[in-house]
């Protein structure tokens, strides 16, 4: 667990309060983790390496995180929360289901295209660890729920087959976005959004 902070560490220094300094250093570590994991040649993360990237000592690492895995989890959670909030807001608009799904997909694509490190952290198959695997499965569950809800809005209820199809489609979506980020799929932004929307909607779009 993170070590408790002394009163000296929390006092105001150069106009910055102690809790503000802690929050700033924590954000530096999160930014450094995203840079390390999400770069085109990203890989494993170590306490020493991320401290070097953040220009902080290990002492300041442990005031916010208990381990490198904790930092990886927090970095992933921050990105997925951002994407879920953006996509959910787009999906909630009172329009027909195809437009709502397309808006949610567009929100995701714009976010990961605006900062491809976030997309690689979420989808890249080159980043493998138990921490990321667990986080990605939880994210798949959330996205599958949203996808199954689109079937429910058409049929009034989501059947077990709808749920199964949702997992299948979300897996395909993740693979397509990963391939696009790595330039293995040559599609424009709009073409990618159209393809992802068709993948998620399936035969629902004609209903």
* Residue 102 neighbours by CB distance under 10 Å: 22
For 135-182, write each residue's pLDDT tens digit.
999 888 878 887 777 665 655 566 788 888 889 988 999 999 999 998
Which domains does the chain carry?
7-66 (1.10.10.60), 69-206 (1.10.357.10)
**Which of 2, 111, 19 lies closest to 65 in space, CA to CA?**
2
Contact status, residue 187 vs residue 160, Cβ threshold 8 Å: no
Residue 5 confidence class, pLDDT cut points 50, 70, 90: low
Is residue 202 left, alpha or beta, with left meaning phi > 0 and alpha meaning psi from -120 to 50? left
Residue 206 confidence class, pLDDT cut points 50, 70, 90: very low
Whether the predicted pLDDT of 1 surpasses 50: no
Please name the residue that has the structure tokens 């560490």.
9
69-70-73-77 Cα dihedral, nearest 10 degrees? -170
Model pTM?
Answer: 0.81
Contact status, residue 21 vs residue 12, Cβ threshold 8 Å: no
**What's the Cα-to-Cα distance from 8 to each of 22, 30, 59, rounded to whole Å?**
12, 24, 15
For 58-72, write each residue's pLDDT tens digit.
999 999 999 999 999
Q: What is the rounded average pLDDT for all residues in the chain?
A: 84
């Amino acid at each position: 667990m993170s070590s408790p902070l002394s009163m000296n560490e929390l006092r105001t220094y150069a106009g910055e309060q102690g809790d503000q300094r802690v929050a700033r250093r924590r954000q530096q570590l999160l930014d450094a983790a995203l840079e390390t994991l999400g770069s085109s040649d990203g890989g494993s993360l170590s306490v020493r390496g991320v401290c070097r990237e953040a220009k902080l000592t290990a002492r300041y690492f442990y005031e916010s995180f208990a381990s490198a895995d904790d930092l990886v989890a927090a970095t992933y959670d921050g990105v997925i929360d951002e994407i879920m909030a953006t996509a959910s807001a787009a999906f909630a608009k009172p329009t027909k289901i195809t437009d709502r799904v397309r808006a949610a997909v567009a929100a995701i694509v714009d976010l990961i295209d605006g900062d491809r490190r976030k997309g690689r952290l979420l989808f890249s198959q080159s980043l493998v660890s138990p921490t990321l695997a667990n986080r990605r499965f939880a994210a798949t569950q959330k996205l599958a729920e949203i996808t199954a809800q689109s079937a429910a809005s058409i049929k009034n209820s989501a059947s077990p087959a709808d749920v199964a199809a949702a997992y299948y489609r979300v897996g395909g979506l993740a693979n397509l976005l990963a391939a696009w980020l790595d330039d293995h799929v040559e599609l424009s932004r709009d073409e990618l959004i159209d393809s992802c929307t068709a993948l998620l909607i399936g035969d629902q779009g004609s209903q």
